[in-house]
């Protein structure tokens, strides 16, 4: 995998997120309470709401537009809603957030 | 850790609900084994009658299919009736010899139909009405035989009779009582019901006792003989003369029973390892036969099985509904009345409507409705909430709609609505969709309906209607609770009031600390509870508890209002709605510089800049050089004013000046929900003060103060609160009232709903009658607001807070080939 250096972990608030301008639109990078990071295309599968603006809890984010609950690891919407946000690989190495883009297939 | 062994005897609604509640709390504590006597997974027993009537199928009433048991690692043993509990060796033994050891045992054996001890009661064709097998037997018999006799004119008996009639049988209902449903109805409504059912072709024999069942000569029942000697033909006899808690097994095992397995407030039997729940359990002398109390018991039992140990069950108020399509009947609480009670009755025998309300000490304690049950849910809520009704007594009989403007909340419409009629205007959900979801997924609460259909999940104005549909569909099983009793969200079982109190009593200062003290189920809550906790903490402990931006929804984090395309709207503050040329020039310049697609005047007399990109927000604020208008928050929004005595030829008071002062007084105020004010300079009331949280109307001799108005979802007219002489007084009373609201209201409760919950008397007592308390409230508000800063300015000055708005620059971003 092609890991890209993004920023220091501290640049993202705990239970918060930041965005980067990706080649196919914004990508949201989330930080959980135990300092794991996850990356999703910044578009809710429902109506395209910016997930980066949602409230993060556990390993989920609630979309700011209509409160869909999206799983950060898989991008899957929680039942009974159905849909999936495109996800990318993200990790923390030596205090730096790294991202590996996954092409939308 | 080695898991404990939990065994459940009985696979019905109460037991399985307990397991569901337990799994929500912990799925790692137990290895679970379930013994079921029936060959089916858990199904919705209360929907057997619609199945009998041909309105639903067996498949539709299954609540948990096999995959549910599999997914939750529950070992399910069907078709195995447990015959022995060996309490010494802690194991249960089933009929076929299979055994299971337990650390905790849950008895949920339900009830059995009471079979009259009369000759012939073991003949073929004599059955109870309890499970799928009975229902199937009735459906099969209806195909081949003609005459059915139902013994018992209670809910179950009438539902059975109705179903058999619909399936083509000739049905007679035998009832020992003077009228039908004597446990649910009084005599008048019982007779109305009888007439309606007779019109459908059912026959009744009241005050009649069955003496014997006679053999037709082939081992099957052929006729029924009464005490008076009459004999009528019967190919099928359904015994629906009541149910008995199924305590046989418990009694045999030496567990104390008395018309039910005796349990304490934590659903434990006298053997502390053994719990009993549902229809087989007797709690404080009552064995409940309705599903809603069983669900409450399930929550408590699960709480203890999960070793949390704080929930207790204190008994339930119940309501019932007859599930016979086309006949509307509802009763709740103590509807028979008796010593010390008064009743209000409305009787229209020709129109087929009868209503009776029972009142004790100014509190509604019971209701019995026939023909028009639209207000059933509302009465039920009044009974459970124990509200004093003296103020609304005149209108009580006419239901909720008689209490004021109806708006489009429309609680009375549920029954008459067509399936295609739209219920939720936000998400476009119609009645049929909701009913189907309730039936297919076995839903019992408005929250469940929200999740599955999205109805009532946006603005919430149709929640009342959804609740009515729920009550109409599942009757007494509907889990309808006022917000004051409901758990805050799925993360905790505590309600808003309990959480507020714990934060105050325990001096809790952080969200994490509160969650840990109150045993939150989730590591950091969810989008429902975190914003509420954040508000409770900062409003209870100003200066000590710190605001957590990550626990605010986006509008309050970005201090702007998110729009459907992810852009934001910006509304700068204009005190009292007054502006000047220099501000207007800056607004115009900002609109040009940032290519603002729309500039619009709001309903609150402000200017809205729409379509601003998030990263532009700090720049916009800087260039505007005006304070935040808080048009995005659960906070003070605007104080609307008219021009008042300064310019208006009718003006009696300087309303503009007072509006500006009030707006300065409340600047930066966070509150449970949004707060809007208006000040008018004369009774013509051009600023629309009658529909504001606080409305002030100037009169020649001073100011009138109105509270609890609302112009939104459901129009509510503000109520007169007090008449004051000076503007200074208005500022003090206003501050005191809003501080009381800030301290006592639940998160997302508007002033009108807060007022309805605590009562006007309570507010008057705190603010009007006690000057010391009023001054103290006002001081607390001033102190709280003295610690707040203009959030826009704060974000411009503190780089750490500005980060939120910046995109992380990254070079060489490429998609892998």
* Residue listed under structure tokens 């020992």: B176
pLDDT value at B409 more than 70: no
Q: What is the DSSP letter of B102?
A: -
Contact yes or no for B56/B15 (Cβ under 8 A): no
Per-residue pLDDT, averaged over B537-564, amounts to 94
Calculated CA dihedral for residues A13, A17, A21, A24, nearest 10 degrees: 160
**Residue B770 binned pLDDT confidence (cut-offs 50, 70, 90):** very high
pLDDT at B406: 36
Contact yes or no for B455/B434 (Cβ under 8 A): yes
Q: With CA atoms as reference, report the closest residue to B120 among B233, B240, B237.
A: B237
Partners of B388 in the beta sheet? Answer: B363
Q: Is A48 in Cβ contact with B566 (below 8 Å)? A: yes
pLDDT at B410: 42
**Residue B384 binned pLDDT confidence (cut-offs 50, 70, 90):** confident
Q: Checking DSSP bridges between strand B319-321 and strand B353-360, what pairing results, if any?
A: unpaired
Query: Which chain B residue is nearest to residue A49, measuring alpha carbons?
Result: B566
What pLDDT, in 10s, does the model give residues B416-468? 677 888 888 777 788 889 988 888 888 888 888 888 888 887 777 677 788 88
Percent of chain B past pLDDT 70, that is, above it, reads 96
Using a CB-CB distance cutoff of 8 angstroms, which residues of chain A are in contact with residue B808? 6-7, 11, 18-20, 29
The shortest C-alpha distance from A20 to chain B (Å) reads 5
Assessment of whether the complete model's pTM goes beyond 0.80: no
pLDDT value at B398 more than 50: yes
Using a CB-CB distance cutoff of 8 angstroms, which residues of chain A are in contact with residue B551? 15, 55
Q: Checking DSSP bridges between strand B675-680 and strand B231-233, what pairing results, if any?
A: unpaired
Is the bond preceding residue B463 a cis peptide, omega within 30 degrees? no
Per-residue pLDDT, averaged over B641-670, amounts to 95
pLDDT value at B633 more than 50: yes
Using a CB-CB distance cutoff of 8 angstroms, which residues of chain B are in contact with residue A62? 526-527
Q: Is B566 in Cβ contact with A50 (below 8 Å)? A: yes
Q: What is the DSSP letter of B754?
A: H
Q: Checking DSSP bridges between strand B221-226 and strand B104-107, what pairing results, if any?
A: unpaired
Per-residue pLDDT, averaged over B208-234, amounts to 93
Using a CB-CB distance cutoff of 8 angstroms, which residues of chain A are in contact with residue B549? 13
The shortest C-alpha distance from A24 to chain B (Å) reads 9
pLDDT at B756: 86
pLDDT at B611: 95
Per-residue pLDDT, averaged over B298-305, amounts to 94
Q: With CA atoms as reference, report the closest residue to B738 among B685, B769, B692, B688.
A: B692
pLDDT value at B170 more than 50: yes
Q: With CA atoms as reference, report the closest residue to B292 among B313, B262, B261.
A: B313
Using a CB-CB distance cutoff of 8 angstroms, which residues of chain A are in contact with residue B553? 55, 64
Q: Checking DSSP bridges between strand B342-348 and strand B353-360, what pairing results, if any?
A: antiparallel
Query: Which chain B residue is nearest to residue A22, measuring alpha carbons?
Result: B813
Nearest-CB residue to B808 (from A7, A33, A60) = A7
pLDDT value at B405 more than 50: no
**Residue B817 binned pLDDT confidence (cut-offs 50, 70, 90):** very low
Q: CA–CA separation, B15 vs B32, rounded Å?
A: 12
Q: Checking DSSP bridges between strand A69-71 and strand B236-239, what pairing results, if any?
A: unpaired
Q: With CA atoms as reference, report the closest residue to B148 among B160, B131, B135.
A: B160
Q: With CA atoms as reference, report the closest residue to B245 among B6, B14, B479, B476.
A: B14
B interface test, pick of A35, A80, A99 with most B CB neighbours within 10 Å: A80
What pLDDT, in 10s, does the model give residues B497-520? 999 999 999 999 999 999 999 999
**B67: contact with A, CB 8 A cutoff:** no
B30-44, B291-305, B644-658, B684-698: least confidently modelled range = B291-305
Nearest-CB residue to A11 (from B522, B554, B803) = B803
Per-residue pLDDT, averaged over B742-756, amounts to 93
The shortest C-alpha distance from A6 to chain B (Å) reads 6
Per-residue pLDDT, averaged over B732-757, amounts to 95
Q: Which residue ranges form the domains of chain A, and what is each CATH number?
A: 4-93 (2.102.10.10)
Q: Which residue ranges form the domains of chain B, and what is each CATH number?
A: 4-110+245-305 (3.50.50.60), 126-241 (3.50.50.60), 487-552 (no CATH), 634-786 (3.30.413.10)
Q: What is the DSSP letter of B220?
A: B
**B524: contact with A, CB 8 A cutoff:** yes
Residue B527: how many other CB atoms lie within 10 Å: 20
**A9: contact with B, CB 8 A cutoff:** no
The shortest C-alpha distance from B802 to chain A (Å) reads 11
Nearest-CB residue to B816 (from A2, A15, A66) = A2
The tokens for B537 are 């903490």
* Residue listed under structure tokens 């409940």: B288
pLDDT value at B815 more than 70: no
**A33: contact with B, CB 8 A cutoff:** yes
Q: Is A53 in Cβ contact with B526 (below 8 Å)? A: no
Q: CA–CA separation, B368 vs B357, rounded Å?
A: 7
Q: CA–CA separation, B163 vs B155, rounded Å?
A: 12
- Residues comprising chain A, all counted: 105
**Residue B592 binned pLDDT confidence (cut-offs 50, 70, 90):** very high
Nearest-CB residue to B562 (from A11, A24, A53) = A53
Nearest-CB residue to A4 (from B553, B557, B810) = B810
The shortest C-alpha distance from B278 to chain A (Å) reads 29
Q: Is B452 in Cβ contact with A101 (below 8 Å)? A: no
Those of residues 428-467 in B touching chain A at CB distance below 8 A are: 451-452, 457-458
**B530: contact with A, CB 8 A cutoff:** yes
Using a CB-CB distance cutoff of 8 angstroms, which residues of chain B are in contact with residue A8? none
Q: With CA atoms as reference, report the closest residue to A26 among A51, A59, A1.
A: A51
Nearest-CB residue to B522 (from A26, A58, A102) = A58
Contact yes or no for B734/B781 (Cβ under 8 A): no
What pLDDT, in 10s, does the model give residues B313-355? 988 877 776 766 667 788 888 887 778 899 898 888 788 888 8
pLDDT at B27: 86
The tokens for B656 are 């503009």
Query: Which chain B residue is nearest to residue A24, measuring alpha carbons?
Result: B815
Q: Is B816 in Cβ contact with A101 (below 8 Å)? A: yes
Q: What is the DSSP string of B525-571?
A: --TTHHHHHHHHHHHHSTTTS---GGGS-HHHHHTSEE-TTS-EEE-
Q: Is A102 in Cβ contact with B807 (below 8 Å)? A: no
**Residue B402 binned pLDDT confidence (cut-offs 50, 70, 90):** low
Q: With CA atoms as reference, report the closest residue to B529 among B558, B486, B480.
A: B486
The dihedral region occupied by B36, where left means phi > 0, alpha psi between -120 and 50, and beta the remainder, is beta
**A55: contact with B, CB 8 A cutoff:** yes
């Amino acid at each position: 995998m092609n890991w890209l250096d993004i920023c220091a972990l501290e640049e993202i608030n705990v239970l918060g997120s930041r965005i980067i301008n990706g080649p196919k639109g914004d990508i949201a990078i989330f930080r959980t309470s135990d300092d794991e990071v996850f990356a999703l295309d910044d578009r809710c599968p429902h109506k395209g709401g910016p997930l980066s603006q949602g409230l993060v809890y556990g390993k989920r984010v609630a979309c700011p537009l209509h409160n869909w609950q999206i799983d950060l690891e898989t991008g899957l919407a929680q039942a009974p809603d159905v849909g999936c946000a495109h996800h990318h690989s993200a990790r923390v190495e030596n205090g730096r957030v790294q991202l590996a883009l996954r092409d939308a297939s | 850790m080695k898991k404990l062994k939990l065994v459940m005897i009985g696979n019905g609604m109460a037991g399985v609900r307990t397991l569901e509640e337990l799994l929500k709390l912990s799925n790692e504590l137990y290895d679970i084994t379930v013994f079921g006597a029936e060959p089916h997974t858990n199904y919705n027993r209360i929907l057997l009658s619609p199945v009998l009537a041909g309105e639903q199928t067996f498949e539709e009433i299954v609540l948990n299919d096999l995959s549910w048991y599999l997914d939750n690692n529950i070992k399910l043993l069907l078709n195995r009736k447990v015959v022995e509990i060996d309490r010494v060796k802690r194991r249960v033994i089933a009929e076929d010899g299979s055994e299971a050891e337990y650390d905790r045992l849950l008895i949920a054996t339900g009830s059995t139909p009471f079979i009259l001890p009369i000759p012939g009661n073991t003949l073929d064709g004599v059955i109870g009405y309890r499970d799928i097998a009975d229902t199937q037997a009735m459906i099969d018999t209806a195909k081949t035989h003609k005459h059915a006799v139902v013994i018992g004119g209670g809910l179950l008996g009438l539902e059975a009779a109705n179903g058999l009639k619909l399936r083509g049988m000739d049905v007679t209902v035998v009832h020992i009582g003077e009228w039908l449903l004597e446990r649910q109805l009084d005599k008048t409504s019982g007779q109305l019901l009888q007439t309606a059912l007779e019109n459908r072709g059912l026959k009744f024999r009241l005050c009649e006792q069955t003496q014997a069942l006679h053999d037709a000569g082939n081992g099957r029942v052929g006729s029924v003989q009464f005490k008076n000697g009459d004999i009528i033909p019967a190919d099928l006899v359904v015994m629906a003369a009541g149910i008995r808690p199924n305590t046989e097994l418990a009694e045999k095992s030496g567990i104390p029973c008395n018309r039910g397995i005796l349990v304490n407030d934590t659903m434990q039997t006298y053997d502390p390892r053994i719990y009993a729940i549902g229809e087989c359990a007797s709690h404080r002398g009552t064995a409940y036969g309705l599903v809603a109390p069983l669900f409450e018991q399930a929550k408590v039992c699960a709480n203890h099985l999960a070793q949390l140990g704080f929930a207790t069950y204190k008994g339930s108020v119940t309501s019932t509904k007859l599930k016979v399509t086309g006949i509307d009947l509802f009763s709740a609480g103590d509807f028979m009345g008796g010593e010390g009670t008064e009743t209000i009755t409305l009787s229209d025998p020709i129109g087929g409507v009868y209503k009776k309300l029972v009142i004790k000490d100014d509190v509604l304690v019971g209701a019995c409705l026939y023909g028009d049950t639209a207000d059933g849910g509302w009465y039920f809520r009044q009974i459970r909430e124990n509200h004093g009704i003296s103020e609304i007594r005149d209108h009580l009989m006419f239901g909720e709609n008689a209490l004021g403007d109806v708006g489009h909340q429309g609680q009375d419409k549920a029954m008459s609505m067509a399936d295609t009629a739209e219920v939720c205007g936000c998400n476009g959900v119609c009645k049929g969709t909701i009913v189907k979801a309730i039936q297919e997924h076995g839903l019992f609460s408005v929250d469940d309906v929200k999740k599955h259909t999205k109805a009532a999940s946006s603005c919430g104005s149709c929640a009342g209607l959804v609740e009515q549909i729920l009550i109409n569909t599942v009757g007494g099983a509907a889990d309808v609770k006022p917000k004051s009793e409901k758990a805050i969200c799925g993360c905790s079982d505590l309600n808003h009031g309990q959480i507020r109190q714990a934060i105050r009593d325990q001096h809790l200062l952080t969200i994490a600390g509160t969650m840990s003290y109150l045993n939150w189920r989730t590591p950091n809550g969810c989008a429902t509870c975190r914003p509420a906790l954040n508000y409770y903490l900062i409003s209870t402990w100003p200066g000590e508890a710190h605001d957590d931006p990550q626990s605010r929804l986006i509008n309050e984090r970005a201090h702007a209002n998110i729009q459907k395309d992810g852009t934001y709207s910006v509304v700068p503050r204009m005190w009292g709605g007054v502006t000047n040329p220099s501000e207007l020039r800056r607004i115009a310049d900002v609109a040009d510089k940032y290519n603002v697609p729309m500039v619009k005047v709001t309903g609150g007399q402000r200017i809205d800049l729409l379509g601003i990109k998030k990263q532009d927000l700090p720049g916009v604020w800087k260039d505007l050089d005006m304070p935040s208008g808080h048009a995005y928050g659960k906070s003070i929004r605007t104080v609307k004013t008219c021009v008042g005595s300064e310019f208006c030829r009718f003006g009696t008071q300087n309303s503009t000046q007072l509006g500006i002062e009030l707006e300065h007084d409340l600047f930066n105020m966070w509150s449970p929900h949004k707060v809007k004010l208006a000040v008018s300079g004369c009774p013509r009331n051009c600023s629309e003060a009658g529909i504001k949280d606080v409305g002030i109307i100037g009169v020649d001799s001073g100011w009138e103060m109105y509270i609890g108005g609302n112009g939104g979802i459901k129009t509510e007219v503000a109520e007169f609160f007090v008449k004051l002489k000076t503007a200074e007084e208005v500022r003090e009373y206003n501050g005191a009232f809003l501080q009381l609201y800030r301290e006592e209201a639940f998160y997302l409760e508007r002033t009108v709903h807060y007022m309805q919950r605590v009562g006007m008397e309570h507010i008057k007592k705190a603010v009007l009658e006690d000057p010391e308390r009023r001054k103290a409230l006002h001081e607390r508000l001033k102190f709280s607001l003295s610690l707040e800063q203009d959030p826009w300015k704060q974000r411009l000055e503190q780089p750490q807070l500005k980060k939120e708005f910046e995109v992380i620059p990254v070079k060489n971003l490429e998609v892998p080939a």
